[in-house]
C-alpha cells in the first residue's frame, strides 16, 4: 500500500515537473519573440501628401501591435540608400515601406538585379516608373474608362461643384488610407505567418453625386 502511494507521488511529481518545464519554455519563447518592426522612409516635406496613407499605416500598426519607425530621406545617393537598409536590418527592422523615392533617392531605376541583394523586403510606392524594387504598392484601375478623371490627392472644390450640378459624372479618388493599411498589414503577415511577400493594391473610388450627398467618402474629398 505504501509502495503504491509512493509511486503515485513520484508520478505526480514527474508530471508536475514536465508541466512546469513546458510552461517555462512557452513563457521564455514569448519573452524572446522578436517584435515585428516596419520602417517607413519618405522624403522630407511630404507629410501632407502622405497623411491619409500614413493614417492607414499607423492604424494597422496599432491593430497588429506592429512597431513603426518613420524616417525622412533627403538627396540620398545609392550608397546612402544601401547603408540605410543595412542599418535598419541591424536595428531589427523586418522591412522598409518606401514612399515617393523619386523625390529624394538617386539609384539605377531600371536595374532589376539590385533588389536581389536587399537585406530586408522593400515595398515601394512611386508616381514614377521603377523596376529596381522587388514589390510595389498601387491602385486597382480596371474599372476606370478612357477619359475618366482622377484626383490623386482629393477633389478640388470646383470638381465637387461640377459633380453636384451634373456637368461632371464623377471623379476617381485613390483610397490612400486603405493602401497604407494594406501595406503595413502585408509586412506583418509576411513576418508573422512566414507568408510570401507580395505587391499590394488598394481601391480607386468613383465619387459621384450620390456619394457626395451621402457623405460616404468625406475624408477623401478635399485636396490642398
- pLDDT at residue 4, rounded to an integer: 56
- Residue 50: Cβ-neighbour burial (10 angstroms; 0-12, 13-18, 19+): buried
Whole-angstrom distance, CA of residue 212 vs CA of residue 206:
11
List of the chain residues with pLDDT < 50: 22, 24, 26-32, 224
- pLDDT at residue 112, rounded to an integer: 81
Whole-angstrom distance, CA of residue 57 vs CA of residue 185:
8
Question: How far from 4 is each of 12, 13, 14, CA to CA, in Å?
Answer: 12, 14, 15
Q: Would you mind telling me the total number of residues written for the chain in this entry?
A: 224
pLDDT digits (tens, 9 = 90+) for 2-44: 555 555 555 555 565 565 554 545 433 443 467 899 999 999 9
Q: In a 3-state reduction of DSSP, which class is residue 7?
A: helix
Whole-angstrom distance, CA of residue 187 vs CA of residue 122:
9
- pLDDT at residue 32, rounded to an integer: 43
Sign of CA dihedral 39, 139, 108, 186: positive
- pLDDT at residue 147, rounded to an integer: 80
Whole-angstrom distance, CA of residue 82 vs CA of residue 79:
5
- pLDDT at residue 165, rounded to an integer: 92
- pLDDT at residue 215, rounded to an integer: 83
- pLDDT at residue 195, rounded to an integer: 87
- pLDDT at residue 218, rounded to an integer: 75
| Full-model pTM | 0.80
Question: How far from 140 is each of 21, 132, 137, 144, CA to CA, in Å?
Answer: 51, 21, 10, 9
- pLDDT at residue 27, rounded to an integer: 38
- pLDDT at residue 48, rounded to an integer: 84
Amino acid at each position: 500500500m505504501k509502495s503504491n502511494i509512493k509511486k503515485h507521488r513520484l508520478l505526480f511529481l514527474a508530471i508536475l515537473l514536465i508541466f512546469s518545464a513546458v510552461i517555462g519554455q512557452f513563457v521564455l519563447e514569448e519573452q524572446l519573440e522578436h517584435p515585428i518592426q516596419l520602417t517607413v522612409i519618405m522624403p522630407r516635406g511630404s507629410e501632407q501628401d502622405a497623411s491619409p496613407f500614413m493614417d492607414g499605416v499607423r492604424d494597422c500598426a496599432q491593430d497588429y501591435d506592429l512597431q513603426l519607425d518613420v524616417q525622412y530621406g533627403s538627396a540620398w545617393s545609392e550608397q546612402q540608400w544601401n547603408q540605410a537598409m543595412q542599418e535598419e536590418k541591424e536595428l531589427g527592422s523586418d522591412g522598409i515601406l518606401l514612399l515617393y523615392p523619386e523625390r529624394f533617392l538617386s539609384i539605377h531605376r531600371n536595374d532589376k538585379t539590385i533588389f536581389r541583394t536587399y537585406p530586408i523586403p522593400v515595398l515601394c510606392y512611386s508616381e514614377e516608373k521603377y523596376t529596381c524594387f522587388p514589390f510595389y504598392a498601387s491602385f486597382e484601375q480596371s474599372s476606370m474608362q478612357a477619359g475618366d478623371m482622377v484626383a490623386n490627392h482629393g477633389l478640388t472644390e470646383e470638381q465637387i461643384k461640377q459633380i453636384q450640378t451634373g456637368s461632371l459624372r464623377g471623379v476617381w479618388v485613390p483610397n490612400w488610407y486603405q493602401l497604407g493599411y494594406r501595406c503595413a498589414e502585408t509586412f506583418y503577415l509576411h513576418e508573422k505567418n512566414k507568408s510570401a511577400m507580395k505587391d499590394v493594391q488598394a481601391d480607386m473610388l468613383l465619387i459621384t453625386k450620390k456619394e457626395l450627398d451621402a457623405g460616404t467618402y468625406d475624408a477623401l474629398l478635399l485636396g490642398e
